[in-house]
């Protein structure tokens, strides 16, 4: 299950993680975000124990979105050692997301 990440928990959950972290920036009103949601949940299950998968609701957590220049959603960022190492904008197939995340394990 993907972890809910907020402005308050971002530092601890993402930047201080000892594992790679995939973060899905989304909003409830965004159609493509709703299409990507189940894929992100599958990736979270597949990578349990190997990587952290989380979601940021951009409407409720605007600071993170501003800090990372999120202009289009859905946007998926992959972090390793507190740094952004990869980015996917728009809906991508599970295989593409898993392949990108695998590269940082």
Catalytic residue among 5, 14, 22, 33: 33
Q: Phi, psi (5° rounding) for residue 5?
A: -110, 135
Per annotation, catalytic residue among 30, 88, 89, 91: 30
β-bridge mates for residue 26, sequence order: 57
49 has catalytic annotation:
no
CA separation for the pair 1, 91 (Å, rounded)? 19
User: Is 99 a catalytic site residue?
Assistant: no
Residues labelled as active-site residues:
30, 33
């Amino acid at each position: 299950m993907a972890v809910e990440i907020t402005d308050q928990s971002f530092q601890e959950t993402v930047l201080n993680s000892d594992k790679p972290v995939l973060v899905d920036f989304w909003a409830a009103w965004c159609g493509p975000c709703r299409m990507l949601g189940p894929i992100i949940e599958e990736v979270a299950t597949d990578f349990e124990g190997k990587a952290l998968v989380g979601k940021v609701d951009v409407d409720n957590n605007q600071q993170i979105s501003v800090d990372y220049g999120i202009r289009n959603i859905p946007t998926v960022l992959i972090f390793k050692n507190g740094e952004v190492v990869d980015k996917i904008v728009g809906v991508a197939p599970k295989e593409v997301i898993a392949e990108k995340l695998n590269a940082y394990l």
